[in-house]
Structure 1
Amino acid sequence: MRLRSIPLLIIGLLSFQLAHSQNSEPITVVPKPASIQTSTGKFLLSKSTAIVTQDEVGRKSASIFNDFLERIHGLRLPVTSIAPSQAHIELHTDVEATNTEAYRMDVTSENIEISGSEQGIFYGLQTLLQLIEPGSSLSVPAVSITDEPEFAYRGIMLDVARHFFEVDQIKNMIDLMAHYKFNKLHWHLTEDQGWRLEIKKYPKLTEIAAYRDSTIIGQYYDFKPFVFDGQKHGGYYTQEEAKEIVRYAAERMITVIPEIELPGHSSAALTAYPEFSSFDSKDYDPKLENVLQGNIPAKNEKGEAYDNDLNTTVPGIWGVHPNIYGVKEETFTFLEDILTEVMEIFPSHYIHIGGDEVPKDHWKTSELAQQVIKKEKLADEHELQSYFITRMEKFLNKNGRDLIGWDEILEGGLAPNATVMSWRGEKGGIQAAQMNHDVIMSPNSHMYIDHYQSEDTKDEPLAIGGFLSLEKVYSYHPRPSSLTKEQQKHILGVQGNLWTEYIATDNKMEYHLFPRALAIAEVGWTNNQDKDYEEFSTQRLPRRLSELEKLDVFYRIPEAKVSINQAPNSPKLSISIDALVEGSTVYYSVDGHKADQTANLYSGPFLAPYTTKEQGPLELRYIIITPEGRQSNEFSLPIQL
């Protein structure tokens, strides 16, 4: 019996190794799941593979899964309530799940089972989509996954006030966010340069405030006086369109949080309704002030002088504008009326009121503002801002909602129940958490994805400035070590911000979002101890970028991983170039010539043509061509150890 068991043991080990080798591909899911146990074998997927579910929850998630499956792999699966005898995918909805975003998935060669709450089922199916290995036949490796997010709040902010985006564009963004398990879309709807939401009680907000006559050309800091394009820009969402966005997002487990800016960044609204402005001096000439501040040009694009009525134009430049809301009772009524309609459209628990970058110069000269400061026993205009925001918070609280504001709402005293969104670094978030207020971390150092993606900006599209690499985004940890464990519990999560002063098209939106949004997704979902940038960028990112290409997403092709080492038994350096897009082709040069498709075709590590001692410093230049034919920027770096 013992002698007979030896060959059986050998056969078993060989079978295990063979099956294991079939599953040797790394698990490339983004964001990285909490726990993955790999096994042997594969589940084969075909057009006859059924998705079995007993409820409407599962059917909705299965339908969205099929939409993605069709876009990526050209396949839709039948959905049924009766389990067939052949291999199938089975969804088990747990209505009593304590963690509503957690899920479990078990894949064998015969079956796939996904269990969790409504959200858990949805996220499990998104993970399943990413597990599918392309090829002549689609397959899923045998795994057991137990997964849940590290943070409850995982968001992206989209500014549609600087540049307007159509409903279909936003829906496509929501699809991508859902696929990578974001659960909050912060929708920045109002700004100095445009008002984007229909408010039925105040029709001039969309008749006048939704459009500007002209927009500055080029970078804000390049020209004074500014140069304008002379093109009308704007648009707005009807309440029905906004409700459709909310519904569409909710089906994909995303809550839409609206932002209505106050008391600053309100020039567009006050263009339509100047009676609610902070300007109440009879001697004040708002037209002259705005020309001096550079907020509007002295002449329009035709060279004609503007008339003396400030209220005929919405500003066409970026920056901070002096025209803010006043503190008269009629202004508070105006804002409460607006927020009433906003709450009817958006069921979100949170309403964002901005509260950032509020110039208080005209409150200082406003007779009414000074009377309110005296009457309310306030110390100064900073406390007047706190008074203003606290009034708005009380109104929202009375209606069962909570207020979010940017970290400037700390100035002058924080409203009692406010949640702080920390953008000027982490300082405001740390201060708020120490005061036992909830915080969403969104520091401009790591989460402002409108910034450049390269220090060398010559080949990059125009951006607001700054440099934020994929690696730096990935490195962020939202829980500051300076907080105690109890205080860290107030850190709800993280958000990437996409301001659109310099982003006016779908392609440019996607270029700024991806691949950095994949890093943000992992910052929000994955435990910090499980994060590893090398593993993320070289093992999991390449498959995901290939997936984005199939989804027709205009992502930025990232720099390759370049390794430069001393070659063995040679004075020369050995150079390897590993593109981070699966299946890419690389062309390179080391002789100072431009890298293009006539340059050297990379086929593996190569030696520098001579030593740096012989000729001085060398420069590697290369481009990446994706499988779909997209070409990267030309990248370069010195060849040296």
Structure 2
Amino acid sequence: MKTVNMKFKGMVLTALISLGSMTAAAGEPANYNVVPLPQSIVMTKGAAFEVDADVQILAPAELQSEAEFLKQYIKELTKCDLTIVNKRAKKVRYIELAVSPKVTAKEGYVMNINQKGVTIQGGTAAGVFYGIQTLRKSLPIACKCGKHKGGSLPAATITDAPRFGYRGMHLDCSRHFWSVSFVKKFIDLLAMHNMNIFHWHLTDDQGWRIEIKKYPKLTTIGSQRSGTILGTNSDLDDGIPHGGFYTQQEAREIVKYAQERHITVIPEIDMPGHMLAALACYPELGCTGGPYEVGHYWGVYTDVLCVGNPKVYEFVEGVLAEIMDIFPSEVIHIGGDETPTVKWEACPKCQALGLSKDKLQAHFTQKVFGYLTAHQRRALGWDEILDGCPQDAMIMSWRGSEPGAKAAEAGHDVVMTPTSHCYFDYLQSKEAQFEPSRCGGFIPVEKVYSLDPAPDTLSVEAKKHILGTQANLWAEYLLTEGLVEYQALPRMSALSEVQWTQPELKNYDAFKERLTRFTKLFEFYNYKYAKHLWPERQLPSRWQF
């Protein structure tokens, strides 16, 4: 038996490396060096398992959904349409799915491949699903001619489990609105990367995107803006109306779509700042009473919810009651970032609370936390809420990793998403003039890959509070669905290894080689991606064609 030792830098199987393109010729073998990299790949003796039309998928009733995904993926990639069965028969070769107590990691799996069959055993159905993703990504893509079908799976045992339990991606649907079909396509991308959290940013100054039946103006007024600033807060507005929102039925549909792929949707209602769209609908909730307008500009607005007004808490609780009814997630994101105090300082109602300006947001946060806790939910907020928040508050560290480290040492559960590594609206190239986005910053793929959310500088106890990491896609400068994908890929692939793979197994050069194969799947599923790592795929000239 031959063991692939992933711990040594750059070591991979020569036979598998030499496969090259994922586009299959007849009989091309699978390559298990996928993204994210499994924890252990052991190549074993014996002939390969041949995927052809005679193979069947054997799965119990509780794994029928996973079996359907496997059937779909194999049909897409190999052109073989396999039958799903729940009983074994003689002389039939199977890809068998099962949940096994022998797999102790909840999201872990063990995949055994030999000439007679393939078994994928997971600690839960989610573990089985991730095993299916590895199998899917290892398969060669059948040629479009349709003459060559199937694929060859070399004998091996793959043992795998994620490093972190929170593996997320964020999408801003407020600054620009994205269709239900695109949100689903984005969720499919998460599934392909073994991610399990979709952080859905639904409200902001520039648009309210979720139906709240108790407050209908949030969508009749708050979901529409009459124009958008051109460039980076220039003096010129495009004057083109922009809007859209998700009905509660559509939101439930997206939640179900994600659940089927073992992804939890965490909704974000950003408060008490970033609430201008809500104030435009219900001006009595602001300190000045308005008038307010849904935001056209990017950045931070000084008009925020009035924390001294009891009607504000009635509004917040009414909104959250409907949000909790739509979203079964234990965790609800309440924002809490970038909240100026200037209006509070001049507001008689806020001043009547007798609190310093530095304590007013904590007062608001504690009330919202108390409401969610009373309804058996947990509140997650950006790292600004750390000062004065309850002990059970979850912190999302975006202003670098330092706030997250501080929170973890203080006993808070933390999700790391520092701007230095995880803001995917930032540019991927220093040649900004040739980038489709007008956003600033610079975060190349290698920088993302270098992130360690739980470094050894943290205490052993603090490391236990680092739940995981996610990247954020803010949409101020994302004007098309293709641009969202372009900003995400391939940095999302680098992040997936930060989330899934143990640090000692990571190697950037080996990752780039696996990523090159992985991009064939991006192309197969029609995802746009940035090509800076492959100059030969870019335009040969930026000015002459």
User: What's the TM-score once normalised by structure 1's chain length?
Assistant: 0.77
Q: Distance in 1 between the 2:92 and 2:498 partners?
A: 39
Q: Which runs of 5+ in 2 are unaligned?
A: 1-12, 20-30, 143-147
Cα deviation 1:285-315 (Å, max 9, x = unaligned): x5xxxxxxxxxxxxxxxxxxxxxxx34x311
- Corresponding residue for residue 520 of structure 1: 495
- Corresponding residue for residue 101 of structure 1: 107
Cα deviation 1:548-601 (Å, max 9, x = unaligned): 1111111112323xxxxxxxxxxxxxxxxxxxxxxxxxxxxxxxxxxxxxxxxx
Q: Assess if the C-alpha contact under 8 Å between 2:223 and 2:245 holds in 1.
A: yes
Q: How does 1:545-584 map to 2 (within 5 A)?
A: 545-560=519-534
- Corresponding residue for residue 574 of structure 1: none
Opposite residue 132 of structure 2, the aligned amino acid is: L
Q: Distance in 2 between the 1:402 and 1:173 partners?
A: 25
Opposite residue 460 of structure 1, the aligned amino acid is: E
Q: Distance in 1 between the 2:499 and 2:483 partners?
A: 24
Decide which of 505, 511, 523 is 1:530's aligned counterpart.
505
Q: Assess if the C-alpha contact under 8 Å between 1:23 and 1:141 holds in 2.
A: no
Q: Assess if the C-alpha contact under 8 Å between 2:163 and 2:501 holds in 1.
A: yes
- Corresponding residue for residue 217 of structure 2: 204
Q: Assess if the C-alpha contact under 8 Å between 1:131 and 1:141 holds in 2.
A: no
Cα deviation 1:200-223 (Å, max 9, x = unaligned): 000000000001000011233xx2
Q: Assess if the C-alpha contact under 8 Å between 1:208 and 1:272 holds in 2.
A: yes
Q: How does 1:79-158 map to 2 (within 5 A)?
A: 79-84=84-89, 85-94=91-100, 98-116=104-122, 117-134=124-141, 136=148, 137-158=150-171
Deviation at 1:54, TM superposition (A): 1.8
Q: Distance in 2 between the 1:53 and 1:317 partners?
A: 53
- Corresponding residue for residue 39 of structure 2: 34
Q: Assess if the C-alpha contact under 8 Å between 2:67 and 2:97 holds in 1.
A: no
Deviation at 1:632, TM superposition (A): 4.5
Of structures 1 and 2, the one scoring higher in RCO (CA 8 A, sep 6+) is 2
Opposite residue 552 of structure 1, the aligned amino acid is: N
- Corresponding residue for residue 273 of structure 1: 282
Q: Distance in 2 between the 1:392 and 1:54 partners?
A: 43
Q: Distance in 2 between the 1:354 and 1:96 partners?
A: 40
Residues 127/169 of structure 1: CA separation in 2 closer, same or farther (3 Å cut):
same
Cα deviation 1:502-544 (Å, max 9, x = unaligned): 1121110110111110111110000111100000002x11110
Q: Assess if the C-alpha contact under 8 Å between 2:77 and 2:140 holds in 1.
A: no
- Corresponding residue for residue 66 of structure 2: 61
Q: Name the structure where strand makes up a greater proportion of residues.
A: 1
Residues 80/23 of structure 1: CA separation in 2 closer, same or farther (3 Å cut):
farther
Q: Which runs of 5+ in 1 are unaligned?
A: 1-18, 281-285, 287-309, 561-622, 626-630, 636-641
Q: Distance in 2 between the 1:346 and 1:253 partners?
A: 14
Deviation at 1:481, TM superposition (A): 3.0
Q: Distance in 2 between the 1:525 and 1:319 partners?
A: 33
Q: Does 1:163 find its partner at 2:176?
A: yes
- Corresponding residue for residue 358 of structure 2: 382
Deviation at 1:97, TM superposition (A): 5.6
Q: Distance in 1 between the 2:473 and 2:367 partners?
A: 29
Q: Which has the larger radius of gyration?
A: 1
- Corresponding residue for residue 325 of structure 2: 344
- Corresponding residue for residue 302 of structure 2: 322
Q: Distance in 1 between the 2:414 and 2:397 partners?
A: 7
Deviation at 1:114, TM superposition (A): 0.6
Q: Distance in 2 between the 1:86 and 1:22 partners?
A: 28
Deviation at 1:432, TM superposition (A): 0.6
Q: Supply the RMSD in Å over aligned alpha carbons.
A: 1.9
Give the % identical residues: 41
- Corresponding residue for residue 300 of structure 1: none
Q: Assess if the C-alpha contact under 8 Å between 2:184 and 2:254 holds in 1.
A: yes
Residues 512/120 of structure 1: CA separation in 2 closer, same or farther (3 Å cut):
same
User: What's the TM-score once normalised by structure 2's chain length?
Assistant: 0.90
Paired residues, number: 509
Q: Distance in 2 between the 1:317 and 1:633 partners?
A: 36
Residues 465/360 of structure 1: CA separation in 2 closer, same or farther (3 Å cut):
same
Q: Distance in 2 between the 1:210 and 1:95 partners?
A: 48
Q: Assess if the C-alpha contact under 8 Å between 1:219 and 1:462 holds in 2.
A: no
Q: Assess if the C-alpha contact under 8 Å between 2:272 and 2:305 holds in 1.
A: yes
Cα deviation 1:354-385 (Å, max 9, x = unaligned): 0000010010000110111x1xxx3x112110
Deviation at 1:100, TM superposition (A): 1.6
Opposite residue 467 of structure 1, the aligned amino acid is: F
